Amino acid sequence: MIQKQYLMIPGPTMVPERVLRVMVREMINHRGPEFIKILKNVTEGVKKCFKTNNDLFIIPSSGTGGMEAAIVNVLSEGDDVLVLNIGAFGARFVKILKAFRANVDEIKFERGKAADVATVEKKLKEKKYKAVFLQHNETSTGVLNDVKSLAAVIKKYDALVVVDSVSGLITADLRTDEWGLDVVVAASQKAFMLPPGLSFVSFSKKAWEYYAKAKMPRFYWDFKSMKDFADKGQNPFTPPVSLYYGMEEAIKILEEQGLENVFESHKKLRDMARTGLKSMGLKLLASDDVASCAVTAVFPPEGVGADELRKKINEKYGVVLAGGQEDLKGKIFRIGHLGFCAETDVMIALDAIKKEI
């Protein structure tokens, strides 16, 4: 029998046929009038998803490239920065910042917990930071941070707010302008329902003030050069044109559905996954009040290896689940329920798990 695949990892996600089809069009001149229109449409569409009027750059990379661009355009070597580390992607911010020789402090929260506002405020009172880095949604633990409250406290201490919403955007509300988020990063392969290869970075007026003083080395990721070209409807370098075709179509789908409805359907999938897993007696890593709308992290039953279970489920049913990362490797498995994911997909994943535990 032909094995059908159910890709239930938290990105790359499944891609709708409508999006796949438009990406097989022929190439066009990336400095010609047709591309100018596409770039404008895609930029405007993504800005609506970010809820921002700030500058927004579309760059040819996975999410980590967007994180690096967010750092090198606002900081200099030796700058004091703080990372709210609630999982593997907080740890990634620390690694990139150290690679560019920022002076990094981190608050490492217990895995499965969100960043606690009072703890963050205490740290901000102790030391002056130029910027604070945090995740909207921490994919490795399935936890959603309260970005609105965290940003409010960070702004009180006049630090730049840099948010990684790579797996959060579109799965849960994020109000870039209303919440005063200076730099926000997202990527194509998550709830945008596209293959990997594009990241999106919004950049506020305050971020541009930081840019004017930032001395970290940058060339390909330089936002001033990107802005100069974007004003002409171009990118500084050859963009992945096919992904832009796909992005235009993905934005159409999101607009047809309406962003608020998309948030609601992600909540529904999250609740369905959590209820189903709990009814099997499985323990979830995150509690209900901080549960991610994009991914659910779960412990296997006592005596069952998480990775062995995933392997069996993949081989028998074609359901692909994600494993644990860093400290949680081999201890948990994760179900992605974001982007082009339907209730039926979650039902199939839950049924496969139920049969094998």
Ligand X SMILES: Cc1ncc(COP(=O)(O)O)c(C=O)c1O
Cis status of the peptide bond prior to 60, with omega within 30 of 0: no
Shorter beta-carbon distance to ligand X: residue 52 or 64: 64
**Residue 80 near residue 130, CB atoms below 8 Å:** yes
For the chain, what is the total number of helices (H) and then of strands (E)? 12, 14
Is residue 62 near ligand X by the rule CB under 6 A?
yes
Encoded one letter per residue, x for contact with ligand X by CB under 6 A and - for no contact, window 13-52 reads ----------------------------------------
Is residue 335 near ligand X by the rule CB under 6 A?
no
Question: What is the C-alpha separation between 207 and 71, in angstroms, rounded?
Answer: 10
Shorter beta-carbon distance to ligand X: residue 6 or 89: 89
Phi, psi of 293 (to 5 degrees): -90, -5
Shorter beta-carbon distance to ligand X: residue 145 or 235: 145
Tell me which residue has tokens 């789908």. 253
Q: What does the block give as tokens for 103?
A: 């002076």
Question: What is the C-alpha separation between 52 and 47, in angstroms, rounded?
Answer: 5
Q: Which of residues 182-211 bind ligand X (CB under 6 A)?
A: 187
Question: What is the C-alpha separation between 259 and 175, in angstroms, rounded?
Answer: 12
Among 54, 73, 135, 141, binds ligand X (CB under 6 A): 135
Nearest distance from residue 302's CB to ligand X, in Å? Answer: 29
Is residue 314 near ligand X by the rule CB under 6 A?
no
Nearest distance from residue 137's CB to ligand X, in Å? Answer: 6
In the chain, what's the furthest Cα-to-Cα distance? Answer: 63
User: Cα Rg for the chain, rounded, in angstroms?
Assistant: 20
**Residue 16 near residue 343, CB atoms below 8 Å:** no
Is residue 11 near ligand X by the rule CB under 6 A?
yes
β-bridge partners, 183: 162, 203
Nearest distance from residue 310's CB to ligand X, in Å? Answer: 17
Q: How far is CA 85 from the centre of its chain?
A: 15
Q: How many residues bind ligand X (CB under 6 A)?
A: 11
Among 96, 97, 166, 169, binds ligand X (CB under 6 A): 166
Is residue 89 near ligand X by the rule CB under 6 A?
yes
Q: Which stretch binds ligand X (CB under 6 A): 160-168, 233-241, 242-250, 336-344?
A: 160-168
Nearest distance from residue 153's CB to ligand X, in Å? Answer: 21
Among 85, 145, 167, 292, binds ligand X (CB under 6 A): 167
Enumerate binding residues for ligand X (CB under 6 A).
11, 62-64, 89, 135, 139, 164, 166-167, 187
